[in-house]
Copies of this chain bind each other. A is one copy, B any other.
Amino acid sequence: MTIATRLAARDDTRLPARLARSRRAVAAGTGLRTEDFDAWLAGRAKAHRFTVERVPLEKIEGWSFAPDGGNLGHHSGRFFSVEGLHVVIDGHEWQQPIIVQPEVGILGILAKEFDGVLHFLMQAKMEPGNPHLLQLSPTVQATHSNYTGVHRGAHVRYLEYFTRAAHGRVLADVLQSEHGSWFLCKSNRNMIIETFDDVPPDDDFRWLTLGQIGELMRRDNVVNMDARSVLACAPTAPAEASAVRSDTEMLSWFTNERARHGVRSKRIPLTGVRDWVRTDDHIQHVDQRYFRVTGVSVEAGNREVTSWMQPLFEPVGLGLCAFLVRHFGGVPHLLVHARAEAGLLDTVELGPTVQCTPDNYVHLPVGDWPPFLEFVRRAGVDRIRYSAVHSDEGGRFLNAESRYLLVEADEADAGTEPPPGYAWVTPGQLNSLARHGHYLNMQARTLLAVVGLLNGLL
């Protein structure tokens, strides 16, 4: 018996053009003009009562330090815990606190065409660690605890589009890593689902075009980390026909980078972490470097639960994440860096050219700075193709801000043959890698989203 099964085209060849059309719609979408966005967001902030107060770690309700080893965890055993990590990367050894959350969350954006233009359902969402509390977020941002109901809160809006098969058309769906320096092997499912249903947006949600979201990414601290991560997984960059390296050569370079680095991480009790101390208020490094673990108390009107306390990681200093940009044969390329990070599942992922906290280096001789940091810091304004401050996920990180830059370079600044660990790749090549996990770190994904959503940037 032969069944006539209708086959699907393997490649969705129409999608890049549809995304490009959405990117060109900068001034207005179906629901909101871009110029009215600030008033809308302010309205959402006014409609809810949000307060976040610092609380000593000892006093965060529902959380406690385990008697054996001192790991900081929730009494339910769920959400996440703060534990210790012993790290050896290429012979360099240290210990640090780390967030352990061995579950896969969903970061989902719902898409829909209006008048022939793809729109994305974005949410004004409060997270306690966000610099402005309210940021533009994916349609759904659900931890496993959220969607299995551990915290006994309200139903997560629109969640069913991301958990039920055949509820729409998948535009992207990939497990991507969280920060390798702060999370132990954490990944989230980054999804974009196109719906053909009639989906009226709730008060805290609006349908926006890629062009509108791109405009908002020009501003500081508006588009949240999860939204940037998800949008980087859509094929928004042009699929260039040629590049400095073929795709196979690029993958080979990456394979060599992954093979040549050795990362050994071992969980240890939080109490025993060397060079870190616990005060009444915080866990912090003896030199007050890197980050501290602190507590907050939250009251919110539009969250699934209206009040709670929790720990947050609070970085010390403003981060810097920059891609150097060059054109070869007219094709824009970004200089990626294969970065080994303690909490990554597989040794290295590709990060921006520069990814560091400059305050950790400015007191040192320039020769001891990370490669290209000096170039980025002294780059004139005519070299800056993009500059904005964005913060990391406000559910885990407090005021974790970094300046994101795209900086035009030339042969004298960054040669055609970059140093070991660095490679020139095109945005289209990065987009092809972003279909898969384990390739692009969170910081690279933010800048890839910037490149993909802003018109005429490179």
Query: A residues within 8 Å of B by Cβ?
Result: 1-12, 102, 104, 165, 170-175, 189, 191, 239-249, 251-252, 255-256, 258-259, 262, 264, 328-329, 331, 345-346, 410-412, 416, 426, 428-429, 435-438
Partner of A251, one of B4, B174, B259, B346: B174
Nearest CB on B from A194, distance (A): 11
Contacts A173-B255, A255-B189, A345-B346 known; A8 to B104 CB distance under 8 Å? Answer: no
Closest to A240 in B: B10
- CB pair A175 B246 closer than 8 Å: no
Nearest CB on B from A175, distance (A): 6
- CB pair A3 B416 closer than 8 Å: yes
11 contacts between A and B (CB under 8 A): A1-B411, A4-B329, A10-B429, A11-B246, A12-B246, A170-B252, A171-B248, A173-B248, A173-B255, A189-B255, A438-B438
Partner of A9, one of B239, B242, B346, B437: B242
Nearest CB on B from A375, distance (A): 16
Closest to A105 in B: B259
Contacts A173-B252, A175-B259, A189-B259 known; A245 to B3 CB distance under 8 Å? Answer: no
Mostly helix, strand, loop or mixed at chain A's interface?
loop
Contact residues in B for A102 (Cβ distance below 8 Å):
262, 264
Contact residues in B for A2 (Cβ distance below 8 Å):
410
- CB pair B411 A10 closer than 8 Å: no
- CB pair A247 B174 closer than 8 Å: no
Contacts A1-B411, A259-B189, A346-B345 known; A248 to B172 CB distance under 8 Å? Answer: yes
Contact residues in B for A11 (Cβ distance below 8 Å):
246-247
In the complex, A239 Cα to B11 Cα: how many Å? Answer: 11
Contact residues in B for A248 (Cβ distance below 8 Å):
12, 170-173, 435
In the complex, A244 Cα to B9 Cα: how many Å? Answer: 9
Top 6 A-B pairs ranked by shortest CB distance?
A173-B252, A7-B242, A104-B259, A170-B252, A8-B246, A5-B328
- CB pair A411 B7 closer than 8 Å: no
- CB pair B9 A173 closer than 8 Å: no
- CB pair A329 B12 closer than 8 Å: no
In the complex, A7 Cα to B247 Cα: how many Å? Answer: 12
Contact residues in B for A246 (Cβ distance below 8 Å):
8-12
- CB pair A249 B8 closer than 8 Å: yes
Closest to A252 in B: B173
Contact residues in B for A165 (Cβ distance below 8 Å):
256
In the complex, A247 Cα to B255 Cα: how many Å? Answer: 23
Partner of A7, one of B4, B174, B243, B264: B243
- CB pair B435 A437 closer than 8 Å: no
Contacts A8-B243, A104-B259 known; A410 to B252 CB distance under 8 Å? Answer: no
Contact residues in B for A256 (Cβ distance below 8 Å):
165, 173
Nearest CB on B from A313, distance (A): 24
- CB pair B5 A412 closer than 8 Å: no
Closest to A415 in B: B3
- From A239, A416, A438, residue with most partner B Cβ within 10 Å: A438
Nearest CB on B from A22, distance (A): 17
Partner of A8, one of B172, B242, B258: B242
Contact residues in B for A264 (Cβ distance below 8 Å):
102
Closest to A411 in B: B3
Nearest CB on B from A365, distance (A): 28
- From A6, A259, A416, residue with most partner B Cβ within 10 Å: A259
Partner of A255, one of B174, B241, B411, B426: B174
